[in-house]
Amino acid sequence: MKVYMVTTPVFFIEFLGTLFLQAAIVYLNIYLLIPRLLFARKYVYYALSLCFSIAIIIVVTILINKVYSHFGSKLYANVSTFTLHNLVLFFIDIFYLVGLTTGIKFVKDSLVNRQWMEEKEKQYLETELNFLKTQIQPTSSSIPSITCIR
Protein backbone atom coordinates (compact mmCIF):
# COMPACT_ATOMS: atom_id res chain seq x y z
CA MET A 1 0.00 0.00 0.00
CA LYS A 2 1.39 3.37 -1.05
CA VAL A 3 1.03 6.30 1.29
CA TYR A 4 1.48 9.75 -0.13
CA MET A 5 2.25 12.76 1.98
CA VAL A 6 -0.56 14.96 0.72
CA THR A 7 -0.46 17.11 3.82
CA THR A 8 3.02 18.45 3.21
CA PRO A 9 3.43 21.86 1.56
CA VAL A 10 5.71 20.30 -1.07
CA PHE A 11 2.80 18.23 -2.40
CA PHE A 12 0.66 21.33 -2.92
CA ILE A 13 3.51 23.18 -4.63
CA GLU A 14 4.07 20.22 -6.94
CA PHE A 15 0.35 19.99 -7.61
CA LEU A 16 0.16 23.67 -8.59
CA GLY A 17 2.57 23.10 -11.49
CA THR A 18 0.24 20.71 -13.27
CA LEU A 19 -2.86 22.59 -12.14
CA PHE A 20 -1.70 25.74 -13.93
CA LEU A 21 -1.15 23.73 -17.10
CA GLN A 22 -4.63 22.28 -16.92
CA ALA A 23 -6.10 25.73 -16.32
CA ALA A 24 -4.11 27.05 -19.29
CA ILE A 25 -5.53 24.45 -21.68
CA VAL A 26 -9.06 25.12 -20.44
CA TYR A 27 -8.75 28.88 -20.90
CA LEU A 28 -7.06 28.43 -24.26
CA ASN A 29 -9.95 26.28 -25.40
CA ILE A 30 -12.77 28.40 -23.99
CA TYR A 31 -11.51 31.87 -24.82
CA LEU A 32 -9.42 31.33 -27.95
CA LEU A 33 -10.13 28.10 -29.82
CA ILE A 34 -13.90 27.91 -29.44
CA PRO A 35 -14.69 31.54 -30.37
CA ARG A 36 -12.19 31.79 -33.22
CA LEU A 37 -12.42 28.32 -34.74
CA LEU A 38 -15.44 26.36 -33.54
CA PHE A 39 -17.95 29.24 -33.78
CA ALA A 40 -16.44 30.14 -37.17
CA ARG A 41 -17.26 26.58 -38.31
CA LYS A 42 -13.63 25.65 -38.86
CA TYR A 43 -14.05 22.23 -37.28
CA VAL A 44 -10.92 20.58 -38.67
CA TYR A 45 -8.71 23.47 -37.56
CA TYR A 46 -10.36 23.39 -34.14
CA ALA A 47 -9.77 19.65 -33.72
CA LEU A 48 -6.16 19.89 -34.90
CA SER A 49 -5.46 22.92 -32.69
CA LEU A 50 -7.03 21.26 -29.68
CA CYS A 51 -5.08 18.01 -30.19
CA PHE A 52 -1.85 19.95 -30.72
CA SER A 53 -2.47 22.00 -27.57
CA ILE A 54 -3.23 18.87 -25.56
CA ALA A 55 -0.06 17.22 -26.88
CA ILE A 56 2.03 20.21 -25.80
CA ILE A 57 0.42 20.20 -22.35
CA ILE A 58 1.09 16.46 -22.01
CA VAL A 59 4.77 16.84 -22.91
CA VAL A 60 5.23 19.79 -20.53
CA THR A 61 3.37 17.92 -17.76
CA ILE A 62 5.58 14.86 -18.14
CA LEU A 63 8.68 17.07 -18.12
CA ILE A 64 7.51 18.81 -14.95
CA ASN A 65 6.82 15.41 -13.37
CA LYS A 66 10.32 14.32 -14.41
CA VAL A 67 11.78 17.36 -12.63
CA TYR A 68 9.71 16.59 -9.53
CA SER A 69 10.82 12.95 -9.49
CA HIS A 70 14.44 14.02 -10.06
CA PHE A 71 14.27 16.08 -6.89
CA GLY A 72 12.88 13.17 -4.88
CA SER A 73 9.14 13.24 -5.31
CA LYS A 74 7.79 9.71 -4.98
CA LEU A 75 4.32 10.74 -6.10
CA TYR A 76 5.37 11.64 -9.63
CA ALA A 77 7.99 8.92 -10.12
CA ASN A 78 5.58 6.62 -11.99
CA VAL A 79 4.29 9.25 -14.42
CA SER A 80 7.55 10.97 -15.33
CA THR A 81 8.43 8.86 -18.36
CA PHE A 82 7.25 9.02 -21.97
CA THR A 83 5.59 5.62 -22.09
CA LEU A 84 2.48 4.89 -24.13
CA HIS A 85 0.59 4.21 -20.91
CA ASN A 86 1.45 7.65 -19.49
CA LEU A 87 0.68 9.43 -22.76
CA VAL A 88 -2.74 7.78 -22.99
CA LEU A 89 -3.39 8.42 -19.30
CA PHE A 90 -2.61 12.13 -19.60
CA PHE A 91 -4.52 12.44 -22.88
CA ILE A 92 -7.65 10.95 -21.35
CA ASP A 93 -7.24 13.14 -18.26
CA ILE A 94 -6.86 16.38 -20.19
CA PHE A 95 -9.40 15.46 -22.88
CA TYR A 96 -11.98 14.72 -20.18
CA LEU A 97 -11.24 18.05 -18.49
CA VAL A 98 -11.48 19.98 -21.77
CA GLY A 99 -14.66 18.14 -22.77
CA LEU A 100 -16.31 18.80 -19.43
CA THR A 101 -15.47 22.51 -19.44
CA THR A 102 -16.52 22.84 -23.09
CA GLY A 103 -19.87 21.29 -22.22
CA ILE A 104 -20.29 23.69 -19.33
CA LYS A 105 -19.49 26.62 -21.63
CA PHE A 106 -22.05 25.47 -24.21
CA VAL A 107 -24.74 25.09 -21.55
CA LYS A 108 -23.94 28.54 -20.13
CA ASP A 109 -23.94 30.12 -23.60
CA SER A 110 -27.24 28.41 -24.39
CA LEU A 111 -28.85 29.75 -21.21
CA VAL A 112 -27.55 33.27 -21.84
CA ASN A 113 -28.75 33.13 -25.45
CA ARG A 114 -32.18 31.86 -24.40
CA GLN A 115 -32.50 34.66 -21.83
CA TRP A 116 -31.46 37.24 -24.45
CA MET A 117 -34.01 35.88 -26.93
CA GLU A 118 -36.78 35.98 -24.33
CA GLU A 119 -35.86 39.56 -23.47
CA LYS A 120 -35.90 40.57 -27.15
CA GLU A 121 -39.26 38.86 -27.66
CA LYS A 122 -40.68 40.67 -24.62
CA GLN A 123 -39.46 44.01 -25.99
CA TYR A 124 -40.98 43.21 -29.39
CA LEU A 125 -44.33 42.30 -27.87
CA GLU A 126 -44.35 45.47 -25.73
CA THR A 127 -43.59 47.58 -28.78
CA GLU A 128 -46.33 45.88 -30.78
CA LEU A 129 -48.81 46.30 -27.92
CA ASN A 130 -48.02 50.01 -27.63
CA PHE A 131 -48.48 50.39 -31.38
CA LEU A 132 -51.87 48.65 -31.24
CA LYS A 133 -52.92 50.82 -28.29
CA THR A 134 -52.21 53.97 -30.26
CA GLN A 135 -54.37 52.67 -33.08
CA ILE A 136 -57.29 51.83 -30.79
CA GLN A 137 -57.17 54.95 -28.61
CA PRO A 138 -56.93 57.87 -30.91
CA THR A 139 -55.39 61.04 -29.69
CA SER A 140 -57.07 64.42 -29.84
CA SER A 141 -55.15 65.37 -32.94
CA SER A 142 -56.45 62.36 -34.81
CA ILE A 143 -60.16 63.12 -34.15
CA PRO A 144 -61.55 65.53 -36.68
CA SER A 145 -62.98 68.51 -34.96
CA ILE A 146 -66.55 69.45 -35.65
CA THR A 147 -66.91 73.07 -36.40
CA CYS A 148 -70.06 75.01 -36.12
CA ILE A 149 -71.08 76.58 -39.31
CA ARG A 150 -73.30 79.58 -38.86
pLDDT tens-digit series, residues 102-113 = 999 999 999 999
Q: Where are the domains of the chain?
A: 9-134
Mean pLDDT of 141-145: 56
At a CB cut-off of 8 Å and minimum separation 6, what does 90 contact? 58, 61, 62, 79
| pLDDT for res 126 | 92
Number of helices and strands in the chain (H, E): 3, 0
Look at residue 28 and tell me whether its pLDDT is greater than 90.
yes
Separation CA 78–CA 114 (nearest Å)? 47
72 dihedral zone (left: phi>0; alpha: psi -120 to 50; beta):
left
The helix (run of H) or strand (run of E) holding residue 74 is none
Residue 79: pLDDT band with limits 50, 70, 90: confident
Bigger pLDDT: 17 or 49?
Answer: 49
First to last CA, the chain: 115
Residue 31: pLDDT band with limits 50, 70, 90: very high
